[in-house]
Amino acid sequence: MTYPIPFDNYINITLPDSYTEDVIYIRIFDLNGKVVYNEKHSVENNNLTISNLSKYSDGNYYMNLLDSHQNVIQSKHILKKSKY
């Protein structure tokens, strides 16, 4: 997975070549476990971008990537930090 560290307004995700499904679900949780983002995304060439994340507060989050059966395939700690 690639993304800006910390991220500001977007996250780029590169999935392993072994990921063959054409959709992926992305859930982002705050440190209290509250889901703040839960979306289904189309996957093209194992890459996707989540954009328009500027509305979220700076801080620590956890992101889960789930396959089409809602099984977690990857979990990551992510940090949101605005540039200004």
> Would you state the pLDDT for residue 29?
95
pLDDT in tens, 11-61: 888 888 888 898 999 999 999 999 999 999 998 888 888 888 888 899 999
Does residue 3 have a pLDDT over 70? no
Q: Phi/psi zone of residue 59: left (φ > 0), alpha (ψ -120 to 50 degrees), beta?
A: left
Entry pTM:
0.84
Q: From CA 79, how far away is CA 60, in angstroms rounded?
A: 5
